[in-house]
Amino acid sequence: MTKEEALLKINQLSEEIESHNYRYYVDAAPLITDFEFDNLLIELSGLEKQFPEYCFLHSPSQRVGGQITKEFIAVEHKYPMLSLGNTYSEEDLIDFDSRIKKIITDEHVQYACELKFDGVAIGITYKNGKIFQAVTRGDGIKGDDVTANIKTIKSLPFHLKNLNETEFPDEFEVRGEVIMPHKVFNRINEERIAIGEAPFANPRNCAAGTVKMQDSGEVAKRSLDCFLYAYYGPSVFNTHEESLNAMTKFGFHVSEHRTVCHSISEVMEYIHHWDNARNALPFDIDGIVIKVNKFSQQQELGFTAKSPRWAISYKFKAESATTQLLEVTYQVGRTGAITPVANLQPVLLAGTTVKRASLHNADQIAKLDLHEADFVYVEKGGEIIPKITGVDLNKRSESATPIHYITSCPECGSALIRKEGEAQHYCLNEENCKPQIKGKLEHFTGRKAMNIDGLGSETIDLLVEKNLIHTIADIYNLKKEKLINLDRFGDKSAQNIIVGIEKSKIIPFEKVLFSIGIRYVGDTVAKKIARHFKSIDAVINATEEELMNAPEVGEIIAKSVYQFFRKESNVKIIEALKANQLQFELAHDALPTQLGNQLKGMTLVVTGTFERNSREGLKAMIEQHGGKNGSSVSKNTTFLLAGADSGPSKIEKATSMGVKVISEYDFELMISK
């Protein structure tokens, strides 16, 4: 390879790695697997060693990782948050052991072995036995302060129990990994699918996105967990294992699946055990971390520019298998979204038999260049849902025909459309496409919505097939006499449904708004909209801009709500539900207590942190004094209430638009008049 070719390749790899770094660390939406990413980095490092004159300071090989997002305050790490060297090779572990023993010659070396959790790295500082600050990895030198979100993790102690000042200093840091348990991940994806949003690919992506959410109340609902695995502070322990034992004693969530090995062969046994047993865990791991146990030996071994010499991570290869594609079928969701599904010859993978794998969208089918009866590679790895990663071209029949994405709905035959900026195709025939009809009815009657007993999916299927119901409003026209005449219905079951329907009439407005099934409007957003507008008529008559003034409502949600109520058939359904006495106004006890009208006609946007009040507390006070809360600065904003650490973009926008910026003191003075 010539120097010119090397420089061209190094620049190409650098750009590609930087792009993937951004997708992984900032967007939390990686496009490639860890194994593929590591191979790119290995290739780049190899070329830089071969051509050292092209190893630039800005190369991805010269830094730890990601970039700092602007939504949170950047904080410098007291102890740089270095990354570990990765390997997929047992030979590399033997070399690692040999290098250490060339330096540590006067005493025995023990290795502390731990699970490598597949989540988000976090550093948490404690002062005087109390949690003080939580910071993400960021670029290893600076990270984002996400303390409010990390505090929602129930397994993380606010105050250390059994605190002994001789064992823990006044100030120290613990480091760990924020994870998303499988059970929680599956629940969140079910909820996202129910409101027409794309599911998360894996728990790690979901955890990463959750840690950076702006509303800590929403973070709390996602039930994150955190395993702590390292102590940083004044030297009070002799070994890493001793520090973990003390952390466990004082209330930190430290994994019990760790051990101390006395030889590299014992390390290998530990790795082999967890490579086989990891599928039984309720969370994801992607490897094993091996550390020299004794702190004095760690100090002797020291660091390279990027990572400690005394630790390494062994990464498991994602489990994969080869099987034959039987056919591609297409599912129609409640919102009309079409999801292609690969039906496979059953194959054992990661402890379960896999028969189906999602193909996501038309782009994925085209990228794989799928043909009929192809033999495909199926992978689970960090994915809960199996995915097809490639095709074995050597086994493809010469007569095999390519699979083309369908152009019409598999259920009703309507032409499919692909909305601008979206990957999925949609069937717009929502009023006559049976899966959409049934999906809307199931959503409306579900436990988290109107909670109508007896109207499960099988019963809804039967009622739709018998033409007894077509829309959610038709549910309130059901009569006991009609139900009794149906198969599997007796007097009692029919009566239970009628009673359940009557009970649903007292379900509060917030739940009703969620239940009617507006795309992107989950239960939390529905509650925010209901409390902001207070009645369905106000929501129906609101402009897109007015909808965006409601908390948690951005441009996409506002557009979806606005368009939903521009459709005459939807408005007719609302009128029919009103006639059946459903709750379409916020109950008096759900309204904030009215304390005055000092802010009547004003819209305030709250940003930053405050000395005497929380952001939610200030928002409540705005409503209590007749004002409205806005989510973003616009021409309708009266004041920007800015606290410490306010985002500069909001203040700049307010200044440029002539919106006055006020302080917490100014606000308190206003409402006290």
Per-residue pLDDT tens digits for 659-672: 999 998 889 889 98
Q: How confident is the model at residue 383 (pLDDT cuts 50, 70, 90)?
A: low
Task: Give the whole-angstrom CA distance, residue 9 versus residue 105.
Answer: 42
DSSP string, 247-286: HHHTT----S--EEESSHHHHHHHHHHHHHHGGGSSS-EE
The closest of 358, 321, 366 to 342, measured between CA atoms, is 358
The burial of 488, by beta-carbon neighbours within 10 Å (0-12 exposed, 13-18 middle, 19 or more buried), is given as exposed
CATH number of the domain that 333 lies in?
A: 2.40.50.140
Task: Give the whole-angstrom CA distance, residue 446 versus residue 225.
Answer: 28
Angstrom CA distances, 109 to 103, 181, 240, 298, stand at 11, 34, 13, 10
CATH number of the domain that 453 lies in?
A: 1.10.150.20
Q: How confident is the model at residue 70 (pLDDT cuts 50, 70, 90)?
A: very low
Half-sphere exposure of 541 (CA within 13 A, CB side): 6
User: Are 93 and 239 found together in one domain?
Assistant: yes
Distance of CA 497 to the CA centre of its chain: 37
Domain count, the chain: 6
CB atoms within 10 A of CB 533: 23
Q: Tell me, what's the pLDDT at 67?
A: 37
Which residues are part of the catalytic machinery?
116
Nearest 5°: CA angle at 334, between 217 and 547?
50
Region 309-323: what's the mean pLDDT?
Answer: 90
Decide if 425 is inside a domain.
no
Q: Tell me, what's the pLDDT at 353?
A: 85
Element (H, E) at 331: strand 320-332
User: Are 251 and 123 found together in one domain?
Assistant: yes
The more confident residue out of 111 and 234 is 111
To the nearest whole number, what is the mean pLDDT of the chain? 87
Decide if 198 is inside a domain.
yes
User: Are 152 and 279 found together in one domain?
Assistant: yes
Q: Tell me, what's the pLDDT at 163?
A: 54
| Range in 47-56, 216-225, 301-310, 616-625 the model is least confident about | 47-56
User: Are 31 and 110 found together in one domain?
Assistant: no
User: Are 474 and 334 found together in one domain?
Assistant: no
The more confident residue out of 608 and 322 is 322
**How many percent of the chain have pLDDT more than 90?**
49
List the domain range (segments joined by +) for residue 546: 509-589
User: Are 235 and 302 found together in one domain?
Assistant: yes
Give the highest mean pLDDT range of 60-69, 146-155, 253-262: 253-262
Residue 355 identity (one-letter amino acid): K
The residue whose two tokens read 């948690």 is 552
Region 396-404: what's the mean pLDDT?
Answer: 93
Decide if 40 is inside a domain.
yes
Condensed to tens digits (0 to 9), the pLDDT of residues 588-635 reads 666 666 788 899 889 999 888 787 777 777 888 898 898 888 877 888
Task: Give the whole-angstrom CA distance, residue 597 versus residue 479.
Answer: 48
Region 363-368: what's the mean pLDDT?
Answer: 93
User: Are 525 and 653 found together in one domain?
Assistant: no
315 touches 285 (CB < 8 A): no
Q: Which residues contact 121 (CB under 8 A, 6 or more apart)?
A: 81, 136, 137, 175, 176, 177, 178
Decide if 67 is inside a domain.
no
CATH number of the domain that 44 lies in?
A: 1.10.287.610
CATH number of the domain that 111 lies in?
A: 3.30.470.30
Task: Give the whole-angstrom CA distance, residue 489 versus residue 468.
Answer: 14
Hey, what are 667's tokens?
């606000």
Q: Tell me, what's the pLDDT at 462?
A: 93
User: Are 326 and 400 found together in one domain?
Assistant: yes
Nearest 5°: CA angle at 224, between 223 and 230?
150
Query: Would you say residue 646 has pLDDT above 80?
Result: no
Decide if 129 is inside a domain.
yes
The closest of 292, 307, 240, 286 to 85, measured between CA atoms, is 307
Task: Give the whole-angstrom CA distance, residue 100 versus residue 288.
Answer: 18
Q: Tell me, what's the pLDDT at 375?
A: 96
Q: Tell me, what's the pLDDT at 23?
A: 66
Classify residue 24 by its DSSP letter.
Answer: I
User: Are 209 and 86 found together in one domain?
Assistant: yes
194 touches 337 (CB < 8 A): no
Decide if 429 is inside a domain.
no
Task: Give the whole-angstrom CA distance, residue 74 versus residue 142.
Answer: 6
User: Are 194 and 311 found together in one domain?
Assistant: yes
User: Are 240 and 265 found together in one domain?
Assistant: yes
Condensed to tens digits (0 to 9), the pLDDT of residues 418-433 reads 988 788 899 999 999 9
Condensed to tens digits (0 to 9), the pLDDT of residues 521-551 reads 988 789 889 988 999 999 999 999 999 888 7
Decide if 428 is inside a domain.
no
Q: Which residues of 140-176 are buried (b: 16+ CB within 10 A; e: fewer)?
A: bebbbbbbbbbbbbeebbeebeeeeeeebeeebbbbb
Q: Tell me, what's the pLDDT at 523?
A: 82
Q: Tell me, what's the pLDDT at 591?
A: 61
- Terminal C-alpha separation, the chain: 77
Angstrom CA distances, 539 to 446, 525, 550, stand at 23, 13, 10
User: Are 631 and 646 found together in one domain?
Assistant: yes
438 touches 457 (CB < 8 A): yes
**How many percent of the chain have pLDDT more than 70?**
93
Task: Give the whole-angstrom CA distance, residue 496 versus residue 485.
Answer: 15
Query: Of the candidates 272, 296, 315, which is a domain's last residue?
Result: 315
CA dihedral 154, 157, 159, 162 (to 10 degrees): 130
Query: Would you say residue 49 has pLDDT above 70?
Result: yes
Decide if 549 is inside a domain.
yes
132 touches 169 (CB < 8 A): no
Query: Of the candidates 315, 342, 361, which is a domain's last residue?
Result: 315
99 touches 310 (CB < 8 A): no
42 touches 48 (CB < 8 A): no
* Greatest CA separation for the chain: 90
Query: Of the candidates 527, 560, 589, which is a domain's last residue?
Result: 589
